[in-house]
């Protein structure tokens, strides 16, 4: 019976895991904006320029999402940075607080703030 329970819990964990992955659907910009304003604005600024109210207290300046450096990064690069954080930086990991879907929503909003347009 004990062994059955263990196998059962592992199976349901695996099922739950694939369910979460399958839930990452089209990005929700509105939700992305809300989450960005709630969690990220204090450092990265309302316009994503890295000039949030707390930026002045940080030794490492927050990333400027309107810079070419960030604009040329892929969604995957940004997702990794948000999910795992940046080493030795106030940019800590968010994966314990945000779901992958929520991070993708935020990235969609960042792209709106700063479109990937090499000309402008």
**How distant is the alpha carbon of residue 37 from its chain centre?**
13
Per-residue x/- track, 48-87, ligand HEC (CB under 6 A)? ------x---x-x-xx---------x---xx--xx---x-
CA neighbor of 94 nearest in space, from 33, 25, 39, 23: 39
In degrees and rounded to multiples of 5, residue 95 shows phi and psi of -65, -20
Q: How far is the CB of 22 from ligand HEC (least distance, A)?
A: 23
Kindly tell me which of 10 and 37 has the beta carbon lying closer to ligand HEC: 37
Residues from 96 through 115 that contact ligand HEC (CB under 6 A):
106
Which residues lie below 8 Å from residue 35, measured CB to CB, with a gap of 6+? 98, 102, 105, 106, 109
Query: Which residues of this chain interact with ligand HEC, rule CB under 6 A?
Result: 39-40, 42-44, 54, 58, 60, 62-63, 73, 77-78, 81-82, 86, 89-91, 94, 106
């Amino acid at each position: 019976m004990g062994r059955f329970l263990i196998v059962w819990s592992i199976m349901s964990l695996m099922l739950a895991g694939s369910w979460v992955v399958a839930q990452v659907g089209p990005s929700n910009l509105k939700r992305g904006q809300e989450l960005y304003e709630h969690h990220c604005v204090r450092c990265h600024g309302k316009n994503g320029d890295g000039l949030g109210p707390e930026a002045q207290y940080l030794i490492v300046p927050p990333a400027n999402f309107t810079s070419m450096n960030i604009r040329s990064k892929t969604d995957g690069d940004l997702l990794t940075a948000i999910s795992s954080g940046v080493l030795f930086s106030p940019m800590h990991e968010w994966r314990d607080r945000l779901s992958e879907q929520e991070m993708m929503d935020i990235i969609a909003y960042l792209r709106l703030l700063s479109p990937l347009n090499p000309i402008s």
